[in-house]
Structure 1
């Protein structure tokens, strides 16, 4: 429907005609998979959607599918895995702070929160976002408390569910410093029952973006 899209790679954006409909297309998405986001005028949306759905391999899906796939890809969702109380260092997103803006860089600081973030890059943080692999098949969902071996609260799950591609429950959350190392063991308290959880590397499933 848009042959020129084959030339695009991850994060490319351009105007394209899709099935003859003028659109603005980005080769991006929030699932970790190679995909496209299409902006289209409201009056053309129904026509375009029906052309896409005419293909046997295409099915409509909702935000539940987007959420499970972005979780498998280790992608944060604002309002869940990060918010106004979270810094990039706590969220394991310090890669988003360019080197020129870091302490000692050519254009050090100069952005909101720079002093706090510089201190955390230098001294570390009290909590850290990590990947979590619960034992068994039951998902561990947002809001569940994480405890150490003595029953002391050491963190909380911020996103969790069953990973359809991984074939097992996966989650992300924050744990105290000292529990963030891959392989660390904690317990998720789900309806009064303790579920063993292992801190794991993210992403749980490697993204398939076209680079």
Structure 2
């Protein structure tokens, strides 16, 4: 068992634990309960904030997410017993999207994992790994890790770090003024920087489909750093409502909605998370079932839908056949500000997963016609090496 990481007492999970709660309120954020905390869902309106991020740069507080460090002997090999990605192949400063898998091939969580170099902002030896997991699942994830990993793997939960995401086409311009040098990063790379004596860990990544950065910053410096970013003309604070509509347009799944323990990576259209070497070697939870589905085809598949008309179709709506029987489920849906149409994600039978296929949806006794479409709904604008 890995080093014990205790879940806080229930009364400790209060909004004041997140460094920017007062800052959000002072900025006019509309606060709502989220993942055990109080978070801003919007400031001036979800549509306006969504479009601002697509055109300029939006600052998101994602400090509720779990930031973890893994270190110790053979830590990369140990992580590969739970994740299907090529963790051993990551070089310093490189990051990878991966999945924490269950024995049945289902998904405990989706996450980002980065190999650290010697200069890493966390005062930890080179070769350790930095991981960001979802806020709503972080305590369950820690339970899985500490139960499955040996004592030699040390887990540190960075609960005093804030996490900010600066997203949009002008994010690099704004952040480069505040933290010179970040423009040297490309998509899915990370490095250590400094701001006013505070160590920062900055990755060129995010979950909006736009170019952008995620910045781990000490909690006691988070408010001043957020102020410095919002002092840039390109930047406005953006709530979690727009973050959700942005990730939906980008075709990115949300854990607990589009992914869960009953979903495997093949059905979820996340086959890219199964690295070539790992597909050949196996050795990750649920490998037999997952690789069989990859070889033979999954019975269902996550697809994008464009819904006719203007009425959004929400999570929980059903995909029905000609007799009205349920054959699939909508897992995310809403009106897409950039597309100016209702869009959704759903799991449908594999025979209906071809783009152009028309399907019928049922929501609260009303039917809607939708067409299966390729995702993303809005092209990704990541800045890759050589671009």
Contact 1:19 1:48 in 2 (8 A): no
Contact 1:127 1:175 in 2 (8 A): yes
In the other structure, the counterpart of 2:182 is: 5
How many angstroms does 1:24 deviate by? 1.2
CA distance in 2, matches of 1:31, 1:24: 19
Q: 2:261 aligns with which of 77, 84, 87?
A: 84
CA RMSD of aligned residues (A): 1.3
CA distance in 2, matches of 1:165, 1:11: 25
Instruction: For structure 2, list consecutive stretches of 5 or more residues without a partner in the other structure.
Output: 1-177
In the other structure, the counterpart of 2:302 is: 129
How many angstroms does 1:19 deviate by? 5.8
CA distance in 2, matches of 1:36, 1:19: 19
Q: 2:288 aligns with which of 115, 139, 142?
A: 115
In the other structure, the counterpart of 1:193 is: 366
Matched, 1:170 2:170: no
After TM superposition, the structure 1 = structure 2 runs for residues 154-169 of structure 1, keeping only pairs within 5 Å, are 154-169=327-342
Matched, 1:147 2:329: no
Q: 1:57 to 1:20 in 2, by over 3 A?
A: farther
Q: Whose helix proportion is higher, 1 or 2?
A: 2
Per the normalisation by structure 2, the TM-score is 0.52
CA distance in 1, matches of 2:321, 2:196: 56
In the other structure, the counterpart of 1:23 is: 200
Instruction: For structure 1, list consecutive stretches of 5 or more residues without a partner in the other structure.
Output: none
Per the normalisation by structure 1, the TM-score is 0.93
Which runs of at least 4 in structure 1 moved beyond 4 Å after TM superposition?
A: none
How many angstroms does 1:26 deviate by? 0.8
Q: 1:120 to 1:24 in 2, by over 3 A?
A: same
| Structure 1, 14-23 or 191-200: larger mean CA deviation | 14-23
Number of matched residues?
A: 207
Deviation digits for residues 93-138 of structure 1, max 9, x if unmatched?
Answer: 1121122232xx3xx2111001101211222221111111100111
How many angstroms does 1:20 deviate by? 5.7
1:69 aligned counterpart, secondary structure: helix
In the other structure, the counterpart of 2:56 is: none
Contact 2:198 2:218 in 1 (8 A): no
In the other structure, the counterpart of 1:52 is: 229
CA distance in 1, matches of 2:301, 2:362: 19
CA distance in 1, matches of 2:207, 2:253: 10
